[in-house]
Structure 1
Amino acid sequence: MKRADARTNRARILDVAEEVFGKGGESASTEEVARQAGVGIATVFRHFPTKAALLQAVLTRRFDRLHGQAEALIGAVNPGEAFFDFFDRLVADATTKIAIGEALLAAGGDGEGEAAQASNRLRRAVGALLLRAQQAGAVRDDIELPEVYALLVGTSRAAAYAYLDDEVRARVLAIVFDGLRPASRRD
């Protein structure tokens, strides 16, 4: 069992790394993480032996957090609103997630570790939200998760790389959401 201070250091390192790599992407450094976390670089490497291991842990935790948020919405009173709100949240979160993912790949990480498993859990939770929204009549029933995920990824990447401001992102999402709704429920 880890000592309390070791657990605290690990959590602080992960919090800071998420922010540092989320803003700086692959150009961010573990030294900057250590400095901002108020620990020595040796402490960072004691918890995470490589930059890739650190990034894998950051991404895994981020996906797990999003998965938990999705799971909490599955029983929502308004499944359509829950689905569309969560889709919006994922798009808004995309810039940081993409920066961390690209930093992981640049650091020699791969797409097969814990982060990939956490991403798959998130995908299944999005699928459950989709199914509930479809059962409620808020989303077309001729759409399946692969199409929704393609729209989610495409919209997320567009928002991240085109640096869409909130107003433009909201209009883009309104168009996407309009296409996901049954014809009878389009605005």
Structure 2
Amino acid sequence: MPGTARVDARRNHDLLLAAAREAFAEHGTDASLRDIARQAGVGIGTLYRHFPTREALLEALLRSRFDALRDRADELSQAPAPGEALLTWLSELAAGSVTYRGLPESVMTALRDDRSQLHASCAAMRAAGGRLLDRAQAAGEVRGDVTAAQLLALAAGLAWAGEQSADPVAMIRQLLSIAMQGLATR
């Protein structure tokens, strides 16, 4: 019997993630958790047993995406042009952040609250971007007074602007081009 409980728990976990992915894509990160549970075919108590907070649910959905962004930062740290590597990473971060309306705000809020279940993933992503920033600054391609926290705030702002546009990726690309001119050393 215990094996059946584990299989059911795993199935419910997967159903909740699938329902959350769909709900957050359609309604943003403020989508109703009750509706997510209903869509998954489970009770709200089951949702809270698996994901005690909205941030825990978001973290579970975003973990692989954030891991990929950190891996991408590591990969780009070997690129010959540090400024271009930073631009590429920022573009990918901002473009990925428009997947769920409200995600940029959730990330920035989690970064300010080290008790948030989303905090560790966001902080690790900020650190990965910080390493790219440090490299671009050491190469003299980016101003030395820019911090990793400011960089993530910039990406969140770009993603928010993208959310307001009919073509989010194009908007992010245009604004990022402008921002990189401001980040460049003179």
TM > 0.5 fold call: yes
Q: Which secondary structure does the structure 2 equivalent of 1:96 belong to?
A: coil
1:119 positional shift:
1.0
1:91 aligns to 2:86 (yes or no)? no
Aligned residues: 175
> Cα 1:132–1:11, aligned 2, differ >3 Å: closer, same or farther?
farther
Q: Which secondary structure does the structure 1 equivalent of 2:141 belong to?
A: coil
Native 8 Å contact 1:14 1:54 kept in 2: yes
> Cα 1:149–1:169, aligned 2, differ >3 Å: closer, same or farther?
closer
1:163 positional shift:
2.2
1:27 aligns to 2:31 (yes or no)? yes
Distance 1:97 1:85 in 2: 21
> Cα 1:97–1:29, aligned 2, differ >3 Å: closer, same or farther?
same
Match of 1:107 in 2: none
Mapping of 1:1-187 within 5 angstroms? 3=6, 6-7=9-10, 10-11=13-14, 13-25=16-28, 26-32=30-36, 35=39, 40-41=42-43, 44-49=47-52, 51=54, 53-60=56-63, 62-97=65-100, 99-100=102-103, 111=113, 112-160=115-163, 162-163=164-165, 165=167, 166-183=169-186
Query: Which 10-residue stretch deviates more, 120-129 or 170-179?
Result: 170-179
Distance 2:104 2:38 in 1: 20
1:172 positional shift:
1.6
Q: Which secondary structure does the structure 2 equivalent of 1:90 belong to?
A: helix
1:12 positional shift:
5.2
Query: Which 10-residue stretch deviates more, 143-152 or 115-124?
Result: 143-152
> Cα 1:8–1:101, aligned 2, differ >3 Å: closer, same or farther?
farther
> Cα 1:136–1:8, aligned 2, differ >3 Å: closer, same or farther?
farther
TM-score by length of 1: 0.68
User: Cα RMSD between the aligned structures?
Assistant: 3.6
Identity %: 34
Query: Which 10-residue stretch deviates more, 171-180 or 71-80?
Result: 71-80
User: Structure 2 counterpart of 1:47, which letter?
Assistant: H
1:120 positional shift:
1.1
Structure 2 alignment gaps of length 5 or more: none
Distance 1:23 1:99 in 2: 11
